[in-house]
Amino acid sequence: MKNIDSRGHVTGQSIYLDDIPLRENTLHAVVFDSHIAHGKIVELDLTEAENYPGVHAILTYLDIPGENQIGGIIPDEPLFAEDEVHFQGDPVALIVADSKQIALEARELIKVKFEELEVVTEPREAAEKGHLLIPPRTFAMGNPDKKWDNCKYVFSGSTEQGGQEHLYLETQGAYCYLMENGNVMVHSSTQSPTTVQRTIANVLGVPMHEIQVDVFRLGGAFGGKEDQATAWAVMASLACKILRKPVKLSLSRKDDLRMTGKRHPYSADFKIGFSEDLKIQAYEVDFYQNGGAANDLGPAITDRTLFHVTNSYFIPDVKATVYSCKTNLPPNTAFRGFGGPQGMFVIEAAIAKAAFELGIPAHVIQEKNLLKENDRFYYGQKATGVNIRK
């Protein structure tokens, strides 16, 4: 099957958000966000910015007719901060003006005072303080604690995995305008049109059928627009509905990098035990997922981590726990692999450490423990159709 977008991408004929012809009287929006990682909003003065020539409105949570909430799996993420900010880049207000340049100039005139609060960015520290986004999740088979004494070799250690920026070609953005009967047409750079539609309807307090979302193509965002494209489409729709004019919101690359989440960083502790012939007898791992300030898609990503804990190996006794930690970073999100790579990395790190300590190549241990037909993964699924070549 040929990639139908290849020719358009290479020749520059593919249509992106910035290629959509703007309607007459289109306004441009810029987000005013928090410059601190955690704090109470003591004072927000919009007066000078609101009076700046060319500014039509500055919207906050007070202007939302529906619910100030964009959380997908768990409703824990306000569209605009109300009395507290939780990360640098947390949206506080939306400036809507005749041009993007005017909106940017007005943004510099907004005055805000914060009462700064404790900042936590490391997941282990968050876990120690009890700052969890959801309760810990554990998958287990057998009982590793009863196996350690019978193991010939036991190794333990820790791993650290950083996040990754998606760096999609087109930054986050949306273009909205009114249709008949006050319905809103939304051109959104998203991987999840239905999520955008449902969330806009919730924030505007209207039925979903009053929102139409148009997307030229899906793919190429590596997960970065599965959930995180939603906020900007909602903001543009809100401004469009209130001002009854077309509104475009397109983040600069700098704003996009600062305000959006990445692949979840993980810290982990592992313990692995082997028989004399190097068969893995037991494996235990605790993951500390850096979720950022809100869940986003984190709960589903933790599940995928747990499903990939043993990678392609048969291990009879396993216990794996994920702590989804709340930190003062932008909410982290989907990234290709969706939590699976983080789970697989740790078992490979454990095998690599064991191989180093034993003075043998890692592939010797890997080959001895590869799944065979009808082996069971540690969560109970039988491995069938196994075609692993040594």
Q: How far is CA 107 from CA 50, 55, 92, in A?
A: 10, 10, 11
Please tell me the predicted confidence (pLDDT) of residue 3. 83
How far, in Å, CA of 119 to CA of 329, rounded?
9
Two structure tokens written together for 370:
């590869």
> pLDDT category, 2, cuts 50, 70, 90?
confident
pLDDT at residue 389 tops 80? no
How far, in Å, CA of 320 to CA of 344, rounded?
12
Which residues make beta-bridge pairs with 316? none
Query: pLDDT tens across 38-93, in order?
Result: 999 999 999 999 999 999 999 999 999 999 999 999 999 999 999 999 999 999 99
Q: Edge-to-edge, what's the strand order for the sheet holding 280-292?
A: 137-141, 317-326, 280-292, 266-274, 153-161
Q: For the chain, give the percent of residues with pLDDT over 70.
A: 99
pLDDT at residue 303 tops 80? yes
In degrees, to the nearest 5, what angle opens at C-alpha 227 toward C-alphas 341 and 340? 10
pLDDT at residue 388 tops 80? no
Q: Which stretches within the chain are classed as H helix?
A: 6-11, 47-50, 100-107, 123-128, 193-204, 230-243, 253-259, 298-307, 340-358, 362-368
Contact present, 31 and 94 (Cβ < 8 Å): yes
How far, in Å, CA of 135 to CA of 310, rounded?
22
111 three-class SS: strand
Q: What is the DSSP letter of 142?
A: S
pLDDT at residue 26 tops 90? yes
Residue type, 100: K
179 three-class SS: coil
Residue of 165, 40, 39, 123 lying closest to 326 (CA atoms): 123
What residue ranges define each of the domains in the chain, with the CATH number in brackets?
15-117+173-250 (3.90.1170.50), 123-164+261-368 (3.30.365.10)
CA dihedral of 120, 122, 123, 126, whole degrees rounded to 10: -30
How far, in Å, CA of 353 to CA of 330, rounded?
33
> pLDDT category, 121, cuts 50, 70, 90?
very high
Question: Do the bridges between strand 184-188 and strand 173-178 make them parallel or antiparallel, or are there none, so unpaired?
Answer: antiparallel
Which residues make beta-bridge pairs with 288? 267, 323
Please tell me the predicted confidence (pLDDT) of residue 154. 98
Q: What is the DSSP letter of 376?
A: B
CA dihedral of 146, 269, 286, 152, whole degrees rounded to 10: -20
**Dihedral sign (CA 336, 339, 343, 349):** positive
In degrees, to the nearest 5, what angle opens at C-alpha 381 toward C-alphas 376 and 385? 75
Q: How many CB atoms lie within 10 A of CB 55?
A: 21
In three-state form (DSSP H/G/I as H, E/B as E, the rest C), the secondary structure along 13-43 is: CCCCHHHCCCCCCCEEEEEEECCCCCEEEEE
pLDDT at residue 135 tops 80? yes
Residue 273 has φ and ψ, to the nearest 5°, of -125, 145
Query: pLDDT tens across 201-246, in order?
Result: 999 999 999 999 999 888 789 999 999 999 999 999 999 999 999 9
Query: pLDDT tens across 312-343, in order?
Result: 999 999 999 999 999 999 999 999 999 999 99
Two structure tokens written together for 317:
């006794």
Two structure tokens written together for 61:
């949570």
